[in-house]
Amino acid sequence: MKKYLLAIGLVVLIGACSSNNSNEKKEPATVGPAPVAAPAPVADLTANPDYKKGLVLVAKSDCLTCHKTDAKLIGPAYKDVSAKYEHTEANIELLAGKVLKGGSGVWGAIPMTPHPQLSLEDAKQIIKYIFLLNK
Superfamily of domain 45-104+111-132: Cytochrome c-like domain (1.10.760.10)
Give the residue among 66, 57, 78, 85 at the shortest CA–CA distance from 130: 78
In whole angstroms, what is the distance from residue 46 CA to residue 60 CA?
A: 18
Q: What is the pLDDT of residue 9?
A: 53
Distance between CA atoms of residues 112 and 63, nearest Å: 10
At position 100, the amino acid (one-letter code) is L
User: What was the pLDDT predicted at 47?
Assistant: 85
Specify the pLDDT at position 72.
Answer: 94
Q: Where are the domains of the chain?
A: 45-104+111-132
- 112 strand-pairing partners: 103
φ, ψ of residue 14 in degrees (nearest 5) = -65, -40
Closest C-alpha among 117, 44, 50 to residue 82: 50
Q: 96-132: per-residue pLDDT in tens?
A: 999 999 988 889 899 999 999 999 999 999 999 999 9
